[in-house]
Amino acid sequence: MSDEPAQQIIPRIWVGRYAAITTPGFLEKNDIKNVISVCPCEDTLTGYNQLVVSILDVAEENIMKHFPETNQFIQSSIDKEENILVHCEAGMSRSVTIVTAYLMWSRKITAKKAISIIKAEWPSASPNSGFFMQLGIYEEIDYTVDQQRTEYRRFLMANMAEEREMHGYVAEMTLAADPENAAKQGRASLRCKKCRRVLVDKDNIIEHEPGKGQQAFSYHKRDSSLHISETASSDHGEVNTVAQVNTSLNPLLASLATSKNNCSSYFIEPMEWINGLDQWNIEGRLDCPRCHTKLGSYCWSGAQCSCGRWVTPAFTLHRKQVDEIKAVKLR
């Protein structure tokens, strides 16, 4: 392994440590004119085309939302036939994740393949577990970071719940589009029983496996499956066993069919029409946006369905307050 602060991965793209921009002459020697700094750094490089992505190397950071911008920045450097350096502090996690995303997007390859290309030249490449998971989701959403994609919205939802738990508030709230505004005819949906107002599309309903234990969306595990933690509680409320069940299906949508017989609630995504959702409230009512009938409730730290399953976060609609409208085939 070289002592160089950065290494060329493929023609024109370099990845490296912070020292790459502080080592005198390093950029000049390697004819690097473009720099992406993936760290909260004050330094602005004069005479260089620099993009600063101010994020920490922690699993909870949403690094994925920066991919469209960083991909374009890297691509435009290449199109100009100029060299580009992507660096962070240690050159292990943040910078490597950004270059991995670029390789995935530009070559339509898997995260694993892209990381192996980087590792061949830069053995310390090692995205943190949360970034690794996000690269997996990026693959699933076909390299298109878009809130139209259900998998991406599920990631944002889990991310917000985690942020709430860690910091006590949600800095940036991303809510699912109100289907009333984009009425897609003929789609399955839920309506308010009283006033018939459309509340959610089928895509906004989060299926859960009926039964005891917890179900949460976690992205901090190093493999690309959803982990369902089965917890059995003793009479004293102590957790006796924790077994992780990996599903090999689509991790987000494979959360299995809801039993209509045992579940009193639909679990939905945080929706635009929910009143009183702000970054501080941990729980509240879900009222119909039209007739104001109470339809359910929400709690960022989770809630238990009548089937026994805990779901986190929990945005619930009581079955008896809503009607399920089946998809209609349009000719």
Q: Which residues are catalytic?
A: 88
Q: Mask 242-261, x = binds Zn ion (CB under 5 A)?
A: --------------------
Least Cβ distance, residue 55 to Zn ion (angstroms): 36
Total length of the chain: 331
CB proximity list for 227: less than 8 A, separation 6 or greater = 218, 221, 244, 245, 246
Q: Does 32 bind Zn ion (CB under 5 A)?
A: no
Strand partners, 317: 266, 296
Of 278, 60, 327, 291, the C-alpha closest to 169 is 278
256 versus 307: smaller Cβ distance to Zn ion: 307
> Which residue shows structure tokens 């994740």?
97
CB proximity list for 28: less than 8 A, separation 6 or greater = none
Binding residue (CB under 5 A) for Zn ion from 263, 274, 286, 314: 263
Identity of the amino acid at 305: C
Asked if omega into 11 is within 30° of 0 (cis), the reply is no
Binding residue (CB under 5 A) for Zn ion from 173, 290, 297, 318: 290
120 versus 195: smaller Cβ distance to Zn ion: 195
Binding segment for Zn ion (CB under 5 A), chosen from 48-56, 184-192, 199-207, 217-225, is 184-192
Count of CB atoms within 10 A of residue 153's CB? 21
103 versus 295: smaller Cβ distance to Zn ion: 295
Least Cβ distance, residue 191 to Zn ion (angstroms): 8
**Ramachandran region, residue 326 (left: φ > 0; alpha: ψ -120 to 50; beta: rest):** beta
145 versus 199: smaller Cβ distance to Zn ion: 199
C-alpha 194, offset from chain centre? 35
308, 214 contact by CB (below 8 A): no
Q: Does 194 bind Zn ion (CB under 5 A)?
A: yes
Q: Mask 203-242, x = binds Zn ion (CB under 5 A)?
A: -------x--------------------------------
Give me the residues that bind Zn ion (CB under 5 A), please. 192, 194-195, 197, 210, 263, 288, 290-291, 305, 307, 309
